[in-house]
């Protein structure tokens, strides 16, 4: 299609919602359609993710991305101008092979990811169709369970790669017929939680940086509660007060690799103060999964421990998600599948580099019965909503109230009677399939 031929490719360094610079790529087609995408690093970064191109030095604390910007302008742009943006595979193939093997290492994963995703958006706009339809065609009709962040903050006990972090909690709304109903219940629970936290601890939801729309995180700092089990009780009570048992639950990104010490094999400071060996860590996760209304638990163990998550999948009936474990990498997912490690993969395009590689990973996951959970922590903003519907994802990391929530509601309206809500069927884990059968029999 002549109108979708790439006419220009540009890039610049911009501020991101993560507190450090991002690269923004812009692709324009012959018919004037535009695709603009930002790509930034996350807070918890797996060691197996593709490396970003940073400037180093003292300016921007070494996190400047002008080098990546120049790689886009001088190398990527000349190579793909004149190609058809609608042919994502061919465009990505050219980018991934610029100058021979290991192009991502030379260009920077951030440069590659930003341009690849911008090509995808430009093509959708050039074709005059929604991004989710360009990704998934006529079959892209499913909206995910609605989720939104509720707890984030600091942990004085953290001593690993990501010291100063703590698990991030979200509410997830799933026991409803439509996304609209689920997001309304989610809003009620989040509002009740924030009111409770303000009254109990005198703290408000943390101010969230512009563009970062995953949640209104309440900063529960160390010492504010006796233990994490007390915190789980509080979250559970909030759900129960609104009579949303088995309809709204909890999901958590443990980010346990951040607290793991390779030299000792010990998880130090994860959750509350103290040290745990591998068996104790597994016991803690099983306690969470069996005694509390957790729906998904992400990265419960060190990223290279595949047998541990496999044991959890076999011994609890909820969704176990791999993020740092898989890093959106088909090779790592294939290895995990062989061992039965996890039952869901987190999707972050810039962990692997290109849209095409991400879609390969998604296809592999689906073929093996795994779920895929998109995450908007790397600059996707509302595009994550289209990604989610485009791949018919059952769950998503937060991003279902505020501006992203509005996009989901817009998509639901566009789809009309074709719109489906993932609900319990969208969650991996026997518990939710059983609930679905019981609900259907009533």
Tokens describing residue 33: 């359609």
- DSSP string for residues in 7-72: EEEEEEEEE-TTSSEEEEEEEEETTS-EEEEEE---SS--TTSPPP----SSGGGGT--HHHHHHI
- Looking up tokens 């048992």 gives 245
The model's pTM: 0.93
- Looking up tokens 């220009």 gives 8
Q: What is the pLDDT along the chain (442 residues), one digit of tens a residue?
A: 689 999 999 999 999 877 789 999 999 999 999 999 999 886 666 688 888 999 999 999 999 999 999 999 999 999 999 999 999 999 999 999 998 888 999 999 999 999 999 999 999 999 999 999 999 999 999 999 999 998 875 443 333 333 345 688 999 999 999 999 999 999 999 999 999 988 888 877 664 433 344 566 676 766 777 788 888 999 999 999 999 999 999 999 998 888 888 899 999 876 667 789 999 999 999 999 999 999 999 999 999 999 999 999 999 999 999 999 999 999 999 999 999 999 999 999 889 989 999 999 999 999 999 999 999 877 788 999 999 999 999 999 988 999 999 999 999 999 999 999 999 999 998 888 777 666 776 6
Q: Do residues 8 and 28 lie in contact, with contact meaning Cβ atoms separated by under 8 Å?
A: yes
Lateral strand order in the sheet of 275-276: 260-261, 266-268, 275-276
Compute the chain's Rg from CA coordinates.
21
How many CB atoms lie under 10 A from the CB of residue 246? Answer: 15
Q: Do residues 330 and 301 lie in contact, with contact meaning Cβ atoms separated by under 8 Å?
A: no
Residue 397 carries which DSSP code?
Answer: B
Q: Which domains does the chain have, with CATH numbers?
A: 2-128 (3.30.390.10), 137-441 (3.20.20.120)
* Number of helices followed by number of strands (H, E) in the chain: 16, 16
Residue 76 carries which DSSP code?
Answer: I
* SS3 category, 152: strand
């Amino acid at each position: 299609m002549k109108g979708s031929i790439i006419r220009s490719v540009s890039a610049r360094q911009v501020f991101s919602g993560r507190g450090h610079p991002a690269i923004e790529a812009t692709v324009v087609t012959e018919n004037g359609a535009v695709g603009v995408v930002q790509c930034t690093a996350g807070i918890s970064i797996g060691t197996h993710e593709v490396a970003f191109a940073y400037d180093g030095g003292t300016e921007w604390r070494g996190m400047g991305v002008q080098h990546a910007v120049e790689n886009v302008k001088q190398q990527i742009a000349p190579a793909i101008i004149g190609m058809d943006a609608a042919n994502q595979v061919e465009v990505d193939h050219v980018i991934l092979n610029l100058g021979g093997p290991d192009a991502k290492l030379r260009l920077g994963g951030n440069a590659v990811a930003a341009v690849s995703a911008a090509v995808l958006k430009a093509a959708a706009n050039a074709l005059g169709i929604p991004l989710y339809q360009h990704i998934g065609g006529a079959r892209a009709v499913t909206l995910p369970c609605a989720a939104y962040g509720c707890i984030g903050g600091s942990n004085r006990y953290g001593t690993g790669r990501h010291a100063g972090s703590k698990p991030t909690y979200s509410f997830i709304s799933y026991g409803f017929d439509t996304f609209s109903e689920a997001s309304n219940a989610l809003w009620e629970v989040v509002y009740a939680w924030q009111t409770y936290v303000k009254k109990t601890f005198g703290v408000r939801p943390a101010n969230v940086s512009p563009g970062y729309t995953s949640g209104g995180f309440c900063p529960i700092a160390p010492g504010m509660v006796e233990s994490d089990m007390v915190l789980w009780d509080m979250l559970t009570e909030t759900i129960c007060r609104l009579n949303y048992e088995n309809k709204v639950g909890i999901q958590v990104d443990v980010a346990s690799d951040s607290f793991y010490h390779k030299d000792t094999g010990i998880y130090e400071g994860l959750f509350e103060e103290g040290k745990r060996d591998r068996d104790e860590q597994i016991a803690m996760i099983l306690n969470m999964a069996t005694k509390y209304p957790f729906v998904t638990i992400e990265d419960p163990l060190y990223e290279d421990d595949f047998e541990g998550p496999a044991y959890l999948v076999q011994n609890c009936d909820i969704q176990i998600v791999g993020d740092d474990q898989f890093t959106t990498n088909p090779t790592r997912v294939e290895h995990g599948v062989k061992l039965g490690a996890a039952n869901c993969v987190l999707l972050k395009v810039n962990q692997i580099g290109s849209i095409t590689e991400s879609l390969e990973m998604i296809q592999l996951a689906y073929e093996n019965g795994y779920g895929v959970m998109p995450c908007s922590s790397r600059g996707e903003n509302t595009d994550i909503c289209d990604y989610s519907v485009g791949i018919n994802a059952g769950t998503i990391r937060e991003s279902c109230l505020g501006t992203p929530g509005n996009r989901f509601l817009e998509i639901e309206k566009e789809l009309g009677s074709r719109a489906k809500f993932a609900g319990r069927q969208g969650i991996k884990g026997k518990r939710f399939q059983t609930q679905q059968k019981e609900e259907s029999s009533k």
